[in-house]
Amino acid sequence: MKKVITLLLGLIMAGSLWAESLTIYSGRNENLIGPLVEKFKSESGIDVHIRYGKTAQMAATILEEGKKSPADVFLAQDAGALGAVSKAGLLQALPEKILAKVATRFKAKNNNWVGISGRAFVVVYNTDKVKPEDLPKTIEGFTAPEFKNRMGWAPGNGSFQAFVTAYRKVHGDAAAESWLKGIDANATKQYPKNTPILAATGKAEIDLGFANHYYLYRFKAEQGEDFPVAIYLIPEGEIGPLVNTAGASILKTARNKAAAEKFINYLLSEDAQKYFAESTYEYALAFPELSDSRLPTLDSIRTPDLDLSDIDDLEGTLILLQKAGIL
């Protein structure tokens, strides 16, 4: 009997050693990253288990799981979620080899996460209703009364809150609050997230809105090139378009560190970066030159002078948004 059990245990252990496996929690949508994961699976022979969900809920799940989390890798849509998990002490430092692939402004100071792809938070406008030359040169210009009843935003959305957090870092809470109140005073319509803003701008339900750049190209791919919306990059002022990143991290409790590193390496490879650039219209952070030619180049986007790791104080932004009576 004992022998049989030993044999069985041996077999099970041998089996688990033989099949290298990797568990990923992904806040990144399956439609955006699924094909890449499949490709990695077949190329590396690693058995990948991936759970999809909303970034914030995935982060909350990891926080609840604590040290018992079955996840090896956490992929997030934005730097804030990675910051929150990192603050709880659940992430480990990534190897230099991986970190070196991406510019300093797109990774964590404490080396706990690395940016994979970037998106610019921009102004989108309906080309039938708005001429770009009539748009203000600074973000503050949108508080002018001429924009009353014409704009849309998603103050509950992570991308927007990251933008406000950056604003707070650069100009302080008081200025951020008065900007928010100014936009709100223009009877700006609230949307739950970016896609409805794009749809509403396309239908001229609103003339312009604040959203991530890539949604525009995705709408064009689905609804045709004549979708009447274009991107406006704010040319002046200290706060221009903010480039936020989707990033990857390895949990401290990861059981398969080697496989996890392999996966993140793959996400930063030319192949995968090309995929992001072509299928999701994001900026390829490890190979910026691969980004879609219709986009303004990454270097030409003036981002606020701050580190993305510093804009994980979404909680402070939330309180500010609530104080301003917006959320």
Partner 1 sequence: MIWKARLSYYKRQVYFNVNSQGANKASWYLILPSALLAASCLLPLAYLGLRAMQADPVVWQILWRPKSLEALWHSLLLTATVTFSSVIVGLTLAWISVRTNIAGRKAWSIILALPLVFPSFVGAYTFIAAFGSHGMIANLLGIEKMPSVYGFWGAFMVLSLFSYPYVFLTVRAALSKMDPNIEEAARTMGKSQGAIFKDIILPQLNPSIQSGALLVALYTLSDFGAVSMLQFDTLTRMIYVQYESSFNRTGAAFLALSLVAITIIILLLNRALRSDRVVKSSASGKIRPPRMLKLGRWKIPALLLCIAILSLGLILPVSVIVYWMLEGINNGEFLYGGFGIITNSVLASILAAIATIAFVIPSSRLQTKYPGKLANFTENAAYLSSALPGIVIALSLVFFSIHALPGFLYQSLAVLVFAYMIHFVPHAMGCLRSSFENIDPNFECAARNLGAKESQVVKSITLPLLKPGVITGAALVFLTCMKELPATLLLAPTGFDTLATRIWSATEEGFFARAATPALCLVLVSGLSIWIILSQEDELLS
Q: What is the DSSP string of 151-174?
A: EEE-TTSHHHHHHHHHHHHHH-HH
The residue (of 99 and 204) whose beta carbon lies closer to partner 1 is: 204
Q: Per-residue x/- mask for partner 1, residues 222 to 241, rule CB under 8 A?
A: xxx-----------------
Within 8 A by CB and 6+ apart from 201, the residues are 124, 125, 126, 152, 207, 208, 209, 229
The residue (of 83 and 136) whose beta carbon lies closer to partner 1 is: 83
Q: How many residues bind partner 1 (CB under 8 A)?
A: 59
The one segment of 116-124, 137-145, 190-198, 245-253 that binds partner 1 by CB under 8 A:
190-198
Any contact of residue 327 with partner 1 (CB under 8 A)? yes
In the region spanning residues 238 to 297, those forming contacts with partner 1, defined by CB under 8 A, are none
C-alpha angle 21-24-26 in degrees, rounded to nearest 5: 160
Q: Which of 6, 16, 297, 322 binds partner 1 (CB under 8 A)?
A: 322
The residue (of 102 and 250) whose beta carbon lies closer to partner 1 is: 250
CB 206 within 8 A of CB 151: yes
Q: What is the DSSP string of 248-259?
A: EEEETT-S-HHH
The residue (of 154 and 234) whose beta carbon lies closer to partner 1 is: 154
Q: Identify the CA nearest to 113 among candidates 130, 90, 141, 92.
A: 92
DSSP 265: H
Q: Which of 6, 30, 110, 148 binds partner 1 (CB under 8 A)?
A: 30
Taking the complex as a whole, how short is the minimal distance between the CB of residue 204 and partner 1, in angstroms?
Answer: 6
Cα separations (Å) of 104 from 169, 298, 303, 307? Answer: 18, 14, 13, 8
The residue (of 141 and 316) whose beta carbon lies closer to partner 1 is: 316
In the region spanning residues 149 to 178, those forming contacts with partner 1, defined by CB under 8 A, are 156-158, 161
Q: What is the DSSP string of 54-107?
A: -HHHHHHHHHHHGGG---SEEEESSHHHHHHHHHTT-EEPPPHHHHTTS-GGGB
Q: For residue 276, what are the β-bridge partners?
A: none
Q: Which of 36, 46, 50, 242 binds partner 1 (CB under 8 A)?
A: 50
Residues of this chain that interact with partner 1 (CB under 8 A) are: 23, 29-32, 49-54, 56-57, 59-61, 63-66, 68-70, 80-81, 84, 156-158, 161, 189-193, 195-196, 198-200, 203-205, 215, 218-219, 221-224, 314-315, 317-319, 322-323, 325, 327
